[in-house]
Amino acid sequence: MSEAIEVRSAVELPSRREEISFVTSDGLTLVGELALPLNREPVATLVTFHPLPTHGGFMDSHIYRKAANRLPALADLAVLRFNTRGTTSPRGTSDGFFGEGITERADVEAAIDFAIARGLPNLWMVGWSFGTELTLKYGFDKPILGAILLSPPLHRTSDEELSRWSGNGKRVIVLVPELDDYLQPAEAKQRFLTIQQAEVIGVDGAKHLWVGESATKRVLNEIVKAVNPSKFPLPEVVLL
């Protein structure tokens, strides 16, 4: 008999979950997880890049954990999460040490190469905070459909690096919390003028860490709206 489940908080919907690892060009083993739809192939893939590991960011940062728990079932998406070099989570610790966003270039390339080798379809890079810096610095020439940026601080990304995205055929969707500690919507719209196709979306009442279920749902809905719009909006209740 089916049971109605409200989609919120710690709910984990059915999916295929696989512990993964891959090796960077400089010889480091990075650990992660791949979540896939349970009984069908994904229509698109989120390759995620977590917030700053020196400030608590890792592959289980809550938006990404909830994306893996919900989006394979609700939106037919594959969700690839991993720990960048030197980062620890319950899955394990990736080799190496934090590289200030410089040596992590090899981490970005290894994650994309892994997704391609696995035959995962329609790749999108999703960065959050520090992860947006990695996405912007190193994703402009990767075989992806686009980038989704959550709370971009633009601390480590130069205007020259931003300009590499302009007109490159990849969508750039930027979610900026109204109450962000680093970059708020008005300034973000100015900074992202460098990328002619950038879509900057200010989110009223939200903060840098997207705390709260309403913020989580807004982020996941915006991701699905971009990546698989046929599944937008996400349901509030599902039958299991």
Q: How far is CA 122 from CA 46, 162, 233, in A?
A: 9, 22, 20
What's the whole-number average pLDDT of the chain?
97
**What's residue 1's pLDDT?**
60
* C-alpha atoms less than 13 angstroms from C-alpha of 188 in its C-beta half-sphere: 26
Tens-place pLDDT, residues 171-186: 999 999 999 999 999 9
Task: Tell me the two tokens of residue 41.
Answer: 């192939």
Whole-angstrom distance, CA of residue 196 vs CA of residue 215: 27
Tens-place pLDDT, residues 143-181: 999 999 999 999 999 999 999 999 999 999 999 999 999
Whole-angstrom distance, CA of residue 49 vs CA of residue 111: 9
In the chain, which residues have pLDDT < 70?
Answer: 1
Q: Please report, for the chain, the start and end positions of each structural domain, with discontinuous segments joined by +.
A: 4-239
* Maximum separation of any 2 CA atoms in the chain, in Å: 57
**What's residue 10's pLDDT?**
87
**What's residue 165's pLDDT?**
98
Question: Which residue, 22, 125, 18, 113, is CA-closest to 72?
Answer: 18
> In the CATH scheme, what is the code of domain 4-239?
3.40.50.1820
